[in-house]
Amino acid sequence: MNRNIASLLPRVLLATGLLAASVVQATPTLPALNVPASGVELPGKFTWFDMATPKPVEQQDFYASLFGWSFRSPGQSDDDYALIVNRGRAIGGMFRHEPPGGEQDGALWIALMSVTSVDEAIATTQSSGGAVQVQPATVPDRGRHALLTDPAGAIFGVLDSSTGDPPDYQAEMGDVIWVDLFARDVPGMIRFYSGLAPYEISTRPIVQDVERNILSAHGMPRAGIVPVDEEANRAAWVPYVRVENVAATLEKVVEGGGFAIVAPDERILNGNVAVFVDPFGGVTGIVKWEYSEDAGQ
């Protein structure tokens, strides 16, 4: 049965949200975002994507088969942290995390947002009803980062990179091209995240009576906020990976033990977008996206 995003995501977010209160606090050795330094600052852009998972080795095998990602260790850590590498470039990481209370299917993506000051982002988060999940840390060559939860419980990261932010570019196949926040209180989330970055807000229809709220900064759309129904007890961020063929990718998802929760729908990007759950509960979007000749990211 093919239903819209707003009605399908909540059931999965009920499970994935359980990770937010107890993410591992290990700080692995991480590479600089840019070598050499970019000289670019784009607060509000999501620049890095980590996945916490109870089965990192199996999870890596699944995503390597799906997107062609490779993985490498940046150095010894107590959570088996591994960099996600796409076409020779690190785009995120995976680390081992056992969900609390013996919960199953506990994998969770954590998107990191560029900020000019981690401490100011923490102060804004706490004064607005959010919380700190992992205290700020400064990592050599990397910069300063922290993990937070917004007032609705969605976990996300903030990063003040010491080498600047990656300049805007057209995403390659296998890159994260977009990120959505699925949330019940859309106006509240717009207010909260607009306090962290200089976002301009616009809306675009998804399907009838459902709109995506677009967060734009520095002349580019950076993320979306999508409403979910009352069955969701917590908000969550979901990244989308650019693929050549959505239907073929979903076939691989099923072969690898995952399943689609939002199947391709001709009303949404002409059927060129879907969302799936991997074998360990991680929620990931996929999209076929063609750039126009004058398009940026």
pLDDT tens by residue, 231-243: 766 789 999 999 9
The answer to whether residues 195 and 151 touch, using CB atoms and an 8 Å cutoff, is no
DSSP state of 234: S
- pLDDT-derived band at 23 (thresholds 50, 70, 90) equals very low
26-161 topology per CATH: 2,3-Dihydroxybiphenyl 1,2-Dioxygenase; domain 1 (3.10.180)
What is residue 16's predicted lDDT score, i.e. its pLDDT?
Answer: 46
The answer to whether residues 297 and 171 touch, using CB atoms and an 8 Å cutoff, is yes
* Sequence-distant (≥ 6) Cβ neighbours of residue 31 within 8 angstroms: 74, 83, 90, 141, 142
Bridge partners of residue 148, in order along the sequence: 132, 156
- The two three-digit tokens of residue 278, written as one number: 């991997």
Bridge partners of residue 251, in order along the sequence: none
The answer to whether residues 85 and 39 touch, using CB atoms and an 8 Å cutoff, is no
b/e map 19-37, b = 16+ CB within 10 Å: bbeebbeebbebebbbeee
Cα 262 → chain centroid = 17
**Which is more confident, 86 or 77?**
86
Query: For residue range 126-150, what is the model confidence (pLDDT) as tens digits?
Result: 999 999 999 999 998 999 999 999 9
- The two three-digit tokens of residue 137, written as one number: 């840390």
The answer to whether residues 244 and 251 touch, using CB atoms and an 8 Å cutoff, is no
Residue 295 CA to residue 68 CA, distance in Å, equals 25
By mean pLDDT, which of 68-77, 138-147, 198-207 is the weakest? 68-77
* 74 CB neighbour count, 10 Å cutoff: 15
Specify the pTM.
0.90
* 73 CB neighbour count, 10 Å cutoff: 13
User: Which helix (H) or strand (E) element contains residue 280?
Assistant: none
Residue 14 CA to residue 234 CA, distance in Å, equals 7
Average pLDDT of the residues of the chain: 87
Phi and psi torsions of 245, nearest 5°: -150, 115
- The answer, yes or no, to whether residue 65 has pLDDT greater than 50, is yes
Q: Is 153 left (phi over 0), alpha (psi -120 to 50) or beta?
A: left
